């Protein structure tokens, strides 16, 4: 399990930012604090609400020079459509190979629905050294993060 004080596992995944590019964590540490907001699936109720809440609060993160990235197992093409339909103003990371959910230990199953190996709802804040400074993970996909706590955690990294 990745916890506060641990080195954030490095990774390279597709970046959905209106186009499809590539994102490597170790190459983005200059954008820190980095907020990695994992969510189970695009176009689902709580996930849409969560990503739209980050959208509506993005000015708060911009004010402290924090970079927000949503993370799900959806393809980058699906994520770009999700971004477009919800007017999301931050990029999304596509973990179709489940590299991130495995490395960050945030994988879960919805066995009753026949859906396996999706992201738990989780948020990690990573500083410019690649250290995890905040961790929140929920076993209940219907629970949203405490957005104020995430912003406070990111602000404390930005102040260092």
Q: pTM to 2 decimals?
A: 0.96
* b/e code 149-159 from CB counts within 10 Å (16+ = b): ebbebbbebbe
* Domain boundary assignment for the chain: 12-159
The CA dihedral of 58, 64, 65, 68, to the nearest 10 degrees, is -40
pLDDT tens-place string over residues 63-76: 999 999 999 999 99
Residue 159: pLDDT over 80:
no
- At residue 56's C-alpha, the angle toward residues 54 and 57, to 5°, is 65
Sequence-distant (6+) residues with CB within 8 A of 92 are: 15, 16, 17, 51, 69, 70, 71, 72, 76, 79, 80, 82, 83
Residue 114, classed as helix, strand or coil, is coil
Mean pLDDT across the chain, nearest whole number? 95
Write down the pLDDT at residue 1: 86
Residue 160: pLDDT over 70:
no
Hey, what CATH class is 12-159 in?
Answer: alpha beta
pLDDT tens-place string over residues 104-115: 999 998 877 788
Residue 137: pLDDT over 70:
yes
């Amino acid at each position: 399990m990745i916890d506060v004080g641990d080195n954030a596992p490095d990774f390279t995944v597709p970046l959905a930012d209106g186009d499809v590019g590539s994102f490597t964590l170790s190459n983005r540490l200059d954008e820190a604090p980095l907020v990695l907001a994992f969510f189970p699936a695009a176009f689902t109720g709580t996930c849409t609400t969560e990503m739209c809440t980050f959208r509506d609060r993005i000015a708060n993160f911009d004010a402290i020079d924090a970079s927000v990235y949503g993370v799900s197992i959806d393809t980058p093409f699906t994520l770009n459509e999700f971004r477009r339909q919800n007017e999301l103003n931050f990029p999304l990371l596509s973990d179709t190979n489940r590299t991130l959910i495995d490395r960050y230990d945030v994988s879960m199953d919805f066995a009753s629905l026949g859906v396996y190996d999706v992201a738990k709802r989780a948020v990690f804040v990573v500083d410019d050294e690649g250290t995890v400074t905040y961790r929140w993970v929920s076993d209940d996909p219907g629970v949203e993060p405490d957005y104020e706590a995430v912003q406070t955690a990111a602000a404390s990294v930005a102040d260092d």
